[in-house]
Structure 1
Amino acid sequence: MAWNISDKELGALVDQMTPEEKVTLVTGSGLWRTAANYRLNIPELLMTDGTYGVRYSIEQIDGPQDSDSQLAAFLSVVNADLSRGVEGAFGSTRPATCFPNGSSFACSWDVDLAHALGEALADECQAFGVNLLLGPGINIRRTPLAGRSYEYYSEDPVLTGEIAAAVINGMQKNGVGASLKHFACNNSEVQRTTMSSVVEERALREIYLAGFERAIRKSNPWTVMSSYNRLNDVQAAENHWLLTQVLRDEWGYDGVVVSDWHGIKDRVASMNAGNDLDMPESAARRQELLEAVGDGRVSTTVLDLSCLRILKLIRTARNGARRNVAVDFKKHHALAQRMALESIVLLKNEGNLLPLDGSKPRKIAVVGAAAREPVIQGSGCATTRPTEVDIPLDEIRRLAPGSTVTFNSASDFAAGAAIEQAALADVDAADVVLFFGNTEVGYDGEGSDRTDLNLHDGQDDLINRLSKRNRRFVAILATPDAVAMPWVDQTAAVLAMFFGGQGAGRAVAELLFGVHNPCGKLTVTFPVRLEDTPGFLTYPGENNRHVYSEGIHVGYRSYDKRKLAPLFPFGFGLSYTTFDYSNVETDAASITATSNLKVSFDVTNTGARAGKEIVQVYARPHNPRLIRPIRELKGFAKVELQPGETRRVDITIEARDLRYYDNDYRTWLLDAGKLTIEVAASSRDIRLERSIDVEAPALPSSILTVESQPSTVLEQEYARKRFGLFLKEQLDLDEEETDKLLEYCGGSFLGIYNTVAWVAGDKISKDVMAAFLDGLNKEMGRAIGKAA
C-alpha cells in the first residue's frame, strides 16, 4: 500500500512518538523488516540480500519471527556451505535470476547493462514484495584473496562508482531501494568483525571512499550500509568521522545509514556516530539505546533525526511499491546470458585457435566437472537460487552437432583410475581440449578469504599435464577474482568467466564457437604470483590490525610504479577482431578546478568481424607535487563497430577527477603544470597521448614551518619570492645579497630558521620567522580556495 504523507506530517509523527516507539523505529524487526507502529499507522519495510540476484528465504522472511528462530536463521546464512547446493545451504529460497556476480559483469564496462541489471532486480523485488535490496557491494578489490571479491567490481574507484551508480539508478527508478555497501574498507574476510583496516587518510579518500562518493553523487542510494570491520581502530558502524563528517557533512548524503547484520557493538556510540537503523532486531541493543536516551547520552535531536530519515525511507519505498508485478524470468535469463557474453574475458588466443567452427566435424575433449555442474556464483549472503542454469557441456554439443564431444572429470585422470587411459586417449585424439577449471566451491566467499591463487584440487597440475599432451588446449576458468596460471605458456587460449551467473554456460559456448565476439576486459590486475600483489607484506594483518601499507598504490597503480610485469594488466581483454586508435583531440589546451575536458578520438575496427572495444582514458601527471601513481583511469566507453567502421568517441573528464588529497592541507588539490591524457586499450597498452596545462596554484611539497628544509620553501616560485622579500626587509639586504642568501639557504639540510640564524644570528627571532611562514601558508591556502 502507498503511504502518501507530507514532510510536515512525518515530523508530526516523530513528535507524537514515545521514546520507546522512537527506539523501536530505529531497530529492526526480526531479520529483514523495519518495525511497524500500529498506533500511528506506520507501515514496515521488507528488505533482503542480493547484489546480483534476489535471495528471498521463505523460512527467514515468512517463517517464525521469534528471536531464537531469527538468530538460527542468521547464522545459517553466515555459515552456509555452498558445496551442498543453494537449497542445502539456505533452505527453501524462492527461485530468482542469478545474474553474473560483480567481479564478472563489471568486466563488461557497460553502464547501460548495469542499469538493465538494476531494472531486472527491481522487477523481481517488486514481485516478491521486497522494498529494499541490500546491494550493490562496491569495496575495492585490494587483494585477489578477499572472500567477497566476487561481489565487488574492481580495483579502481572510477569504474566501481560508475557501475554502481547505474545499478542503483536502475533499481530506484523502478521503485526499489538500494543499500550501497560495505562502508568502508571491508576488503578482507579475515576476522572481519574485529579486524581494524588501518588506512592513511589520503589512500582512504582517493581509493577506498572515492567509489562510494561517486556512486552517491550520481545515484543517491536510499540507504548506505556500514561495514563489519573497524576503520583506523574505530568500529565502522560507530565511526563519527566516516558516517557524519564525511558521508553527511562533506558529501551531503541525507539517506538512511543501516548497519550490517549485528555489525553494531555499541548501540549508543553508533547512534551518535550517525548509524540510523540497527539490523537485525536485537532486544539488548534496543534496551541500551532506550536507557541512553533516558539519561541524555543520546540526545532527542539525534534520535529524532534518525527517526525522520527512516520515515522518509518508508514513504519513498512504500510509494514505489507496485502490486501484481509479473516477472518474465525467461527474459531475465536472456539478460543474464547477455551480461555474461559482454563480460567474459578472452585472455589468450595463440594462433587464433578460437573461435571454433561448429559446422566442421571434429573431436572435442571437454574436461572438468564445471562443464557439467557449472560454478556460477560465490558463497555468502548474496547467493541466489537460480531459476535455471545453462550447462556448458550441453551448449557445446548444441553448437557442434556433427562433432564427437567427449567428457571427463578431473578425477578420471587420477593415476590408477580405471578410466585414466581412456580419458588420456580422448585428450590425445582431440582436435581441441576445452578444460573447465574453478577455485574451491563454497570455501572462498563470505567469512573466509582464499589462502592462495591456485585452482582447486590439483587442477593447475592437471592443466599442465594435459596441455603438454595436446597444445590445442583452452582453459575456461570460473573464479571469484584473479588466479595464478603457472601453465599459461603451454595453453593456446584462456577465457576468464569469473562467476558468470546462470546464463554463463550458453554464453561461453557461443563465444568459443564465434556466435559472438568476446568483448570483456579485466577490472583487476592478474599477478604472476601472490607475492607480487601490492599488499602482500602486511596481509592479512595481525593483532586485530591490518595496515594497508601500499597506500594509494592499489592494483595497477602499484604494478606501474614498481615496473612489475603482471600476468594480465588492468583493462586487458582480447577480441576476434582488431582495433585502431587515431586522431586524438581535447576541446581545450588547459583545465582549471571548475572546468571539464572533452577527449575525442577515432576508433576503427580493422578486422573482419563485428566487435566491441572498451576504450580507456588515463591521466598521467608530469611533475606531481606529492607522490602519485604513474597513471590513473579517468573515463571509459564501450564502442560497437562493424568491420571497417570508424567512430568518433567523446569522453568527458571532470577536473574533480584529476585531483589528489593532501593530508596536511586536508583538502583536494590539482597539480599545477603539465598533464598527459592517455587513450588506451589497457593500462599497459597506451595508444594515443595529448598533453594539457593544469591551471592551479603551485604549492610547496608540504606546509611550511621553521623546521622545514630550505629547499621546501624555495622549490615553488611564489614562496621563494615572498621569502626573499621577507629576508630583504628583515635583514636590510640589497637584491644581490638577497639572491646570495637564498642560494646559500638552498644548499642547507638544516631547518629554515637555523639556516638563516647561522648567517644572521638573532636578527630574526624564531617567533617572527614562524609568523611569516604561517602567513605564507594562509596566503597559499586562500589561493587554493579561490581555485576551487
Structure 2
Amino acid sequence: MDIDNLVNQLTLDEKASLCSGSEKNMWQTEAIERLGIPSITMTDGPYGVVKRLSGFSDPVPSTCFPVSCAMSSSWDINLIHNIGKAIGEECQVENVNILFAPSMNIQRSPLGGRNFEYYSEDPILSSEMASAFVKGVQSQGVGACLKHYMANNSEYLRQNINNVISEQPLNEIYLYNFERTIKNSNPYTIMTAYNKVNWEYCVKSRYLLTEILRNKFNFDGFVLSDWYGVDSIVDSLKAGLDLEMPYSYGISKKKIIDSVKNGDLDEATLNEAVKRILKIVFKVKNAEKPNAQYSKEEHNKFAREAARDCIVLLKNENSLLPLKKEKLRKHKLAVIGEYAKNPRYQGNGSAHVTPTVIENGYDEIVKLVGNSIKINYSKGYNLLTSSSENDNLLINEAQKSAAKSDVAIIFLGTPDSYDGETADRANLDLPANQVKLIKEIYKVQKNIIVVIYNGSPVIFSNWYQYANSIIEAWLPGQAGAGAIADILFGIVNPSGKLSCTFPIQLPDNPTYLDYISPDNNLFYREDIFVGYKYYDKKNMQVQFPFGFGLSYTSFCYSNLELSKNVLKENDTLDISFIIKNTGSYFGKEVAQLYVQYSKSPIPRPIKELKAFSKVPLAPNEEKSVSFTLNSRDFSYYDILTKTWQLESGPVRILVGTSSRHICLVGNIYIQSSYQPKITYTAENFARDFLSNPKTENIIRPLLVSIANLLSNDKALEQTISEFLKDMPIKKWIVISRGSFTEKMLADIISLANTEG
C-alpha cells in the first residue's frame, strides 16, 4: 500500500476525521470508503479480551487469564508469550484489531488501585513480561498497545495530577520500562496517560511523545489518547499524538481544519499523523482471519496451567503442603471462607473480563479428592462487611468444622473494591472479620493453610503466625481455583516468585509520606529507590522480599563463572552457573541475576535485577544457566550529559533465589573513560578543587597556610583542615585574611574548568 499517495488524495476534512475516532462506535477508527480506507476495532484486554458491543456495556465472554501482577509472578517469558498469543487468537475471533495491552506502569506504591493490572515494581521484570506479551499478541496479526505512557502510577486524581520526577528515576525506571519493551517487541501502538509529568500533560508533551518516544526509542507506530484524555487536539498533534479516542462529535475535526487553514497547525504535521495511523490500519486489516476460531475449553485449560505457574508459596512450616491422603488421619478437611465458593479472580475497571466459565476452590477440591476425603465447608465470614462483630455465628460454625478435621484450608482475600480503576487503596489490611477468623480457627486447629486472593501486597504481620502454609493466589483468572487445588494436593509444584515486595507495615513503604499539594503536584521523593531498591537502601526488614517464593523441592546453585574480570565500554559479560534439583519433586526454579555497585558519587541502588530465567528440573537433575550482560546493563543515566554512562569501579555479580537470598557472588571491575564533568564555581567546596589534579597542587599549600593562621595546635590540625575543605572556596578569602585574593579565586576556577 502506497501510504504517501493515499494521503495525497485525502481532503483536509478526511485527514482531520482520521485523527478522532469514529461516530459509529467509540471503539473504532473512522473509515474513508471512497479510498478504501477501512475502520479498525480496538478494545481493552491486559489479561483477556474485553470487546464491548456498545459503549462501556455488553462485553462479550472471553477467557479471563491471571491478572498482570500474577503473570509476572510466573517469571516465565514463554508462558506470557503464549498468554498473549491466546488472547490474540480470541481477538481475531471477535474481529478486534488493536488490543489495549499490556498495561505496564511501575507499581510505585502498594496502595495503587491498578497494581493488579501492572506487572511489577521493577522495570526489567516488567519490560520482559510486557515484551513477551506483545510478541504473543502480534504473532496473531493483532496490534498490541502499550499503556499508559507515562507514569500512571496511581488512580487518585489521575486526570490532572502532576507527577514530578527527577531525570535519573524518570529515565532509569519509568521511561526504561517502556524503552526496553518498545525496542524488544516493536508494539504497533501506544496509549498516553491522563496525568502530567513534570508540569506537562502526557497527551501533549512534545518531550515525551516526540523527543523521547520517536527520536530516542525509534517508535514507529501510532500514539492514541486514553478515553476523553484530550483537551486540545491541535496541541496534542503538534506534540506527537496521532489519534484522539473516542469520537469527539466533530469538535476536534473542526479545530484541526481551522488550525490548518489559519496556519496554526502545519498540514505536514497532520499528514505524518495520518500516515502513521494508516500504516497500522492496513497492517492489522490485512492480517485479519475471517474464519478464526478457538476452543473455549482448551483456553480454559491453558488458563489453569498459566495460573499454576503464577501462584506463589509464601510459607510451608513442617511441610504441611502438599496435602496427601496418608497425612490425614481422620480423612477430613475443613474448607472455610466465602471466597472458597465465590472466588476473586480479577480486578475492576476497563480491563474487567466477562469470563467464559468460573471455577471455585471448593468444587475443585471436591473433584480432586473424590470420596476419599470428607470436605466440611463453612462460610466463615461475610464478604459484604469487614466488621468482625457480625460474623461470630459464622466463626463458631467454622471452628466446629475445623476442630473435627485434620487440616483447615481458609480462603481469604481483599474486598472487590480494593483492586480497581479510578481509586487507590486506603490500606493494606485484610478485613478485620477475616483476621479474626484465622485467630479463632487457630484455637481449635493448628494445621492451617491460608489461600489469599489479592491484587497487590497485604499486611501479614497480624496473622502470619497462625498459618502453617500460605498460598499467594493473586487474582488468578477464571481457572485459578483449579490451579490452587492442583498446588494444594501436589499435582503441581508451586514455582511462582513475588513480582513486588511485601512490607511488614504500611508506613514502611517508600511512598508512605507522599503529599499531593493543593495544586495537584506529587513529588517522587524516593527517586530511584522504588520497591526493593528502597528497602535495601534502608536495610529494612520486609515480610516477603521481591522475587521470593518457596517450592516443594530444593535447589542448589554452584559453579559461577564470569567470562572476564574487567568490563570496558561496549564489552559484554557472559555469566554461567549450575542449578541442581536436590529434592524429591519436579520443580521450576527462577534464577535471578542482580548487580551490586561500589560506593558511587551518584545515587545507585544497593542491587538491581538485570536478568532471570525459569528452569524446569527433575529430581537430581542439574542444568547450566547462562546470561549475557552488556555495558548498558551497568550504566546509569547521567543528568549532566543527558545520556547513559558507564562508571568505573568494582561491581559484584549476584545470583540468587530472591533479592534477599543470594547464593553465588562474583566480582568484576568496570573500566570507563567517562569522567563526570563538574562546572566549578565559587560555591564549590574546597574539597572539589583538591580532587581536581589541575588545582590540587595550588589549593593544598593554601589549605595548610590558612589552617596555620587559625591555630598552631597540632591536635586541632586535622579538624581545622576538614572544616576548611567542607566550605565554599569563596569563604577562604576572608578566612585567609586577604592572602587568598579574588584574583586567585578567579584563576583557580578558570583552571579547574579548562578542558583537557
TM-score under structure 1 length normalisation: 0.88
Deviation at 1:249, TM superposition (A): 1.2
Match in the other structure for 1:377: 346
Q: 1:439 to 1:403 in 2, by over 3 A?
A: same
Are residue 227 (structure 1) and residue 193 (structure 2) matched?
yes
Q: 1:228 to 1:628 in 2, by over 3 A?
A: same
Q: Deviations over 1:225-279 (max 9, x none)?
A: 1001111121110111111111111111111111111111221221111111100
Q: Indicate the SS of the match to 2:121.
A: coil
Are residue 403 (structure 1) and residue 373 (structure 2) matched?
yes
Tell me which moved more, 370-379 or 277-286.
Answer: 277-286
Deviation at 1:592, TM superposition (A): 2.2
Q: Deviations over 1:367-413 (max 9, x none)?
A: 11111111110001111111112221111112222111111113389
Percent identity between matched residues is 37
Work out the CA distance in 1 between the residues paired with 2:680 and 2:395. 73
Q: 1:41 aligns with which of 36, 45, 48?
A: 36
Work out the CA distance in 2 between the residues paired with 1:424 and 1:727. 78
Work out the CA distance in 2 between the residues paired with 1:594 and 1:345. 38
Does the CA-based 8 Å contact 2:226-2:245 persist in structure 1? yes
Q: 2:523 aligns with which of 547, 561, 565?
A: 547
Work out the CA distance in 2 between the residues paired with 1:355 and 1:541. 51
Work out the CA distance in 2 between the residues paired with 1:325 and 1:539. 50
Q: 1:19 to 1:673 in 2, by over 3 A?
A: same
Work out the CA distance in 1 between the residues paired with 2:303 and 2:510. 33
Match in the other structure for 1:261: 227
Work out the CA distance in 2 between the residues paired with 1:255 and 1:755. 58
Q: Indicate the SS of the match to 1:775.
A: coil
Are residue 722 (structure 1) and residue 694 (structure 2) matched?
yes
Match in the other structure for 1:637: 613
Are residue 648 (structure 1) and residue 640 (structure 2) matched?
no
Match in the other structure for 2:708: none
Q: Indicate the SS of the match to 2:85.
A: helix
Match in the other structure for 1:453: 428
Q: 1:12 aligns with which of 5, 22, 38?
A: 5
* Equivalence map 1:141-152=2 (5 Å): 141-152=107-118
Q: Indicate the SS of the match to 2:513.
A: helix
Q: Indicate the SS of the match to 2:577.
A: strand
Does the CA-based 8 Å contact 1:625-1:671 persist in structure 2? no
Q: 1:580 aligns with which of 547, 556, 563?
A: 556
Q: 1:309 aligns with which of 276, 282, 295?
A: 276
Deviation at 1:587, TM superposition (A): 0.9
Q: 1:155 aligns with which of 118, 121, 131?
A: 121
Q: 1:53 to 1:539 in 2, by over 3 A?
A: farther
Q: Indicate the SS of the match to 1:537.
A: coil
Q: 1:639 to 1:772 in 2, by over 3 A?
A: same
Deviation at 1:543, TM superposition (A): 3.5
Does the CA-based 8 Å contact 2:376-2:401 persist in structure 1? yes
Q: Deviations over 1:262-311 (max 9, x none)?
A: 11122122111111110011132332222222222221121111111011
Match in the other structure for 1:504: 480
Deviation at 1:564, TM superposition (A): 0.8
Q: Deviations over 1:674-725 (max 9, x none)?
A: 000100110110111001010113535854334222323444xxxx323358
Work out the CA distance in 2 between the residues paired with 1:160 and 1:387. 28
Q: 2:144 aligns with which of 178, 181, 187?
A: 178
Tell me which moved more, 215-224 or 747-756.
Answer: 747-756
**Counterpart of 1:165 in structure 2: which amino acid?**
S
Match in the other structure for 2:661: 685
Work out the CA distance in 1 between the residues paired with 2:508 and 2:391. 37
Work out the CA distance in 1 between the residues paired with 2:518 and 2:110. 19
Q: 1:427 to 1:676 in 2, by over 3 A?
A: same
Q: 1:564 to 1:370 in 2, by over 3 A?
A: same
Match in the other structure for 2:52: 57
Q: 1:748 aligns with which of 704, 717, 725?
A: 725
Q: Indicate the SS of the match to 1:117.
A: helix
Does the CA-based 8 Å contact 1:257-1:274 persist in structure 2? yes
Does the CA-based 8 Å contact 1:625-1:699 persist in structure 2? no
* Equivalence map 1:10-409=2 (5 Å): 10-29=3-22, 30-58=25-53, 60=54, 73=55, 77=56, 90=57, 92-282=58-248, 283-358=250-325, 362-401=331-370, 402-409=372-379
Deviation at 1:143, TM superposition (A): 1.0
TM-score under structure 2 length normalisation: 0.92
Work out the CA distance in 2 between the residues paired with 1:386 and 1:595. 49
**Counterpart of 1:182 in structure 2: which amino acid?**
H
Q: 1:41 to 1:340 in 2, by over 3 A?
A: same
Q: 1:391 to 1:225 in 2, by over 3 A?
A: same
Does the CA-based 8 Å contact 2:529-2:605 persist in structure 1? yes
Work out the CA distance in 1 between the residues paired with 2:294 and 2:577. 41
Q: Indicate the SS of the match to 1:573.
A: coil
Work out the CA distance in 1 between the residues paired with 2:284 and 2:754. 52
Deviation at 1:749, TM superposition (A): 3.0
Deviation at 1:114, TM superposition (A): 0.9
Does the CA-based 8 Å contact 1:625-1:701 persist in structure 2? no
Q: Deviations over 1:515-561 (max 9, x none)?
A: 11000000100011111110100156653122211111000000011
Q: Indicate the SS of the match to 1:28.
A: coil
Work out the CA distance in 1 between the residues paired with 2:609 and 2:266. 44
Tell me which moved more, 618-627 or 456-465.
Answer: 456-465
Q: Indicate the SS of the match to 2:441.
A: helix
Over the aligned positions, Cα root-mean-square deviation in angstroms equals: 2.4
Does the CA-based 8 Å contact 1:49-1:56 persist in structure 2? yes
* Equivalence map 1:380-529=2 (5 Å): 380-401=349-370, 402-411=372-381, 421-456=396-431, 458-485=433-460, 486-529=462-505
Does the CA-based 8 Å contact 1:175-1:321 persist in structure 2? yes
Does the CA-based 8 Å contact 2:69-2:115 persist in structure 1? yes
Q: 1:176 to 1:610 in 2, by over 3 A?
A: same
Match in the other structure for 1:80: none
Deviation at 1:625, TM superposition (A): 2.5
Match in the other structure for 1:740: none
Work out the CA distance in 1 between the residues paired with 2:354 and 2:202. 31
Work out the CA distance in 1 between the residues paired with 2:376 and 2:670. 61
Deviation at 1:317, TM superposition (A): 0.9
Aligned length in residues? 726
Q: 1:343 to 1:16 in 2, by over 3 A?
A: same
Deviation at 1:489, TM superposition (A): 1.3
Tell me which moved more, 679-688 or 286-295.
Answer: 286-295
Match in the other structure for 2:712: none
Q: Indicate the SS of the match to 2:667.
A: strand
Deviation at 1:744, TM superposition (A): 7.4
Work out the CA distance in 2 between the residues paired with 1:515 and 1:503. 15
Does the CA-based 8 Å contact 1:119-1:170 persist in structure 2? yes
Q: Deviations over 1:302-324 (max 9, x none)?
A: 11111110111112111221220
Does the CA-based 8 Å contact 1:541-1:547 persist in structure 2? no
Match in the other structure for 1:63: none
Tell me which moved more, 326-335 or 373-382.
Answer: 326-335
Work out the CA distance in 1 between the residues paired with 2:675 and 2:264. 44
Structure 1, unaligned runs of 5 or more: 61-72, 78-89, 729-742, 780-788
**Counterpart of 2:463 in structure 1: which amino acid?**
W
Q: Indicate the SS of the match to 2:215.
A: helix
Match in the other structure for 1:784: none
